[in-house]
Amino acid sequence: MNKKTYQSFLQLLKDELIPAMGCTEPIALAYASALAKKYLGENPLSAEIIVSKNIIKNVKSVIVPNTHGLKGISAAVVTGMIAGNSDLVLEVISKVTRTQLQEIKLMLATLPIVIKESNSDNALDIKVTLKGKQHCTCVQIIGEHANVTLIQKDDLVILKKPYQKNDEIEPPHLSVKEIVNFANHVDIHDVEKLINRQIDYNVAIAEEGLSHSYGANIGKIMLKTYGHSSANLAKVYAAAAADARMSGCSLPVIINSGSGNQGLTVSLPVIIYARELHVSHDDLIRALVLANLINIHLKTGIGRLSAFCGATCAGVSAGAGICYFHKNELKAYEHTIVNGLVINSGLICDGAKPSCAAKIASSVDAGLLGLEMALNNSEFCAGEGIVSDDVEKTIENICQLASKGMKETDTEIIELMTKHC
């Protein structure tokens, strides 16, 4: 691998594996509102929130951290205004005091807040406008959860930058072959701090999910019902972490492709198998580098938000990471990925909520089954459904299905969630 490609892969990991507290959609709202309040410089008298449909979908049913159970767009925005520190970006509301919580509840009851649906064709679009007695500020985030494209105070444009869609950006050439090559040869010192942080953060929230009652307690139920096998523990830890995260736990996680649940699902099964198999820490780091980059590769063609459940890609990526401990051969990785994707390709995203933990468990199971098939020289073949004649073409098929084919599905899901639920 040449130096330029090597550095681009390192930078991709640094850009994607960042800490976030809580579900990233309400946190992005809180971040935008914290910035808007910072530049307003006074108490707001009204707020207008314009968001894309997928933001509505992913904020509706998830608890905003540090709010004692508050949900929804208004709760996220007001928490950002009252208690947000925009310097902390996706950990913006990590320090909410009791006094601030009372102020949040009071503002929710008294501040006029208008919420509108954006007509943007971008699935992730947030625009927060605050009006005070003397000033008005506007902050917009597009495409990625911390990608601020506009900051304006009155007529003064403080920041304005065009948003580039994925197809307008020249990313490093991602392929399964290149990712495996990078994972095998990366200098451990270049990635160990980044990956060790992922291990520490994500294991901590999984253990929190198993120690206390969160959401539907999927992880705890699976542990009680199915025991302590490696395969079950891989699902248990990922599900328990999501149990906690979806239900307002204030512990941060290391995300992947803009998603905390994907960050948890990519990493925790690999960590569990490394423990069970007693592999070296260096091998765990390489396996996690591989798993993280595979997920980024799968998600690049799909986008941050869609009707396609991101846990599907993350579970398959975890399977590929675990494959590193068993059979470090390109064909084994390729078959693990194809098999796993085909098994769970119909899993839909109907917003962030407690049932995400169960979908994560199902996705990890699909990744593990895909891996076991590959280790036993069993594979789904070209021409069977959406399987093509190589891994990259099959990934392209999945991306087309998710980004184009499921657009109408996404619209129908949001219609059901907002009007009939």
Q: How far apart are alpha carbons 419 and 77 in whole angstroms?
A: 22
Residue 386 vs residue 107, higher pLDDT: 107
168: pLDDT strictly greater than 60: no
Say yes or no to pLDDT of 420 above 60: no
Checking if the pLDDT of 305 tops 90, the result is: no
Over residues 267-288, the pLDDT tens digits come to 999 999 999 999 999 999 999 9
pLDDT at 288: 98
Question: How far apart are the C-alpha atoms of 193 and 6, rounded to whole Å?
Answer: 17
Query: What tokens were used for 343?
Result: 């098994």
Higher pLDDT, 198 or 306: 198
Give the percent of the chain with pLDDT over 90: 77
Where does the pLDDT of residue 419 fall: very low under 50, low under 70, confident under 90, or very high at 90 and above?
confident
Q: Please tell me the predicted confidence (pLDDT) of residue 172.
A: 65
Residues 53-69, mean pLDDT to the nearest whole number: 90
Which residue(s) pair with 159 in the sheet?
Answer: 151
The DSSP symbol for 379 reads -
Q: Which two tokens stand for residue 79?
A: 């928490």
Paired tokens of 211: 């120690």
pLDDT band per the 50, 70, 90 thresholds, residue 22: confident
- Tokens 């401990």 found at: 325
Other residues' Cβ atoms within 10 Å of the Cβ of residue 122: 15
For residue 194, is pLDDT > 90? yes
Structure confidence by residue, pLDDT tens digits, 309-334: 889 999 999 999 999 999 999 999 99
pLDDT at residue 410, as a whole number = 85
Q: Which of 3.40.50, 2.60.40, 3.30.360, 3.30.1330 is the CATH number of 20-163?
A: 3.30.1330
- The residue-averaged pLDDT of 145-174 equals 81
- Rounded to whole angstroms, the Cα distance separating 334 from 177 reads 9
pLDDT (0 to 100) of residue 421 = 47
Cα dihedral: 225, 227, 233, 236 (round 10): 20
120-125 long-range contacts, CB within 8 A, separation 24+: 120/52, 122/52, 122/163, 122/165, 123/52, 123/53, 123/54, 123/303, 123/304, 123/305, 123/306, 123/410, 124/25, 124/28, 124/52, 124/54, 124/55, 124/258, 124/304, 124/305, 125/50, 125/51, 125/52, 125/55
> For residues 407 and 399, is the Cβ–Cβ distance under 8 A?
no
Distance of alpha carbon 311 from alpha carbon 57, whole angstroms: 16
Q: Running DSSP on this structure, what letter comes out for residue 308?
A: B
Say what percent of the chain tops pLDDT 70. Answer: 97
Tell me the C-alpha to C-alpha distance, in Å, between residue 36 and each of 33, 40, 77, 161: 5, 6, 10, 17
Give yes or no for a contact between 296 and 174, defined as CB atoms under 8 angstroms apart: yes
- The CATH architecture annotation of domain 169-419 reads Orthogonal Bundle (1.10)
CA-angle at 147, arms to 146 and 148, nearest 5°: 105
Tens-digit pLDDT profile for residues 356-371: 999 999 999 999 999 9
Query: Which of 280, 387, 358, 265 is CA-nearest to residue 319?
Result: 265
Q: Are 219 and 207 in contact (CB under 8 A)?
A: no
**Residue spans per domain, the chain:** 20-163, 169-419
CA atoms within 13 A on the CB side of 401: 19
- Contacting residues for 121 by C-beta, under 8 A, at least 6 apart: none
- C-beta separation of 82 from 70 below 8 A: no
Q: Is the pLDDT of residue 304 over 70?
A: yes
Higher-confidence position of 121 and 197: 197
